[in-house]
Amino acid sequence: MFENLEILQFPDERLRRLSEPVETFNAELKVLADKMLEIMYQSNGIGLAAPQVNQTIRLIVVDVSEDRNTPCIFINPKIKKPSGSVDSSEGCLSVPEIRTTIRRYENIMLEYQDLSGTIHNEQLDDLMSICVQHEIDHLDGKLFIDYVPDVKLQRLRKKIAKSKKNQSTIEGTTVRVV
């Protein structure tokens, strides 16, 4: 059912869709979460949101551990009690050619459900907080480059176009520049 999942690439408009809350917690949801973790690890990412693999549900997977052995699955995540701010150098599996600095909350309280539907509240900080905020943006149809001022975004688009000239495919997926 989820064998052929691929990471959507900017500027694919499907990345802009709003995700629906998960209401059914079943084996199919676990299969999707496991497949997303597999794709994230294969792509050397630290987070992946369901919309990035063309699934419009509120599901993210994250693993910021050095050994890549602490997978986290967050369903219907909501940021509560954000505090502080930090500059974060970010990249994205859906926009692989660029990195840029984004201002994020330093600490968040995350309310989420696990694979069985149980609600949890967890205090997150450091890289975990930043990564979860980045992935939640995907659930809301937002990309990290949306935080970039227009002038800098134009430079980033030129960088993407130049990268495209030098390399026509990235891991088997073509990238279009608009």
Residues identified as active-site: 135
CA 115, CA 104: separation in Å to the nearest integer? 27
Range 116-153 burial, b when 16+ CB lie within 10 A, else e: eeeeeeeebeeebbbbbbbbbbbbebebbbebbeeeee
Q: Say how many C-beta atoms besides its own lie within 10 A of residue 6's C-beta.
A: 12
CA 175, CA 98: separation in Å to the nearest integer? 13
Extract the tokens encoding 24.
Answer: 């059914």
Extract the tokens encoding 4.
Answer: 């052929």
Q: Is 43 helix (H, G, I), strand (E, B) or coil?
A: coil
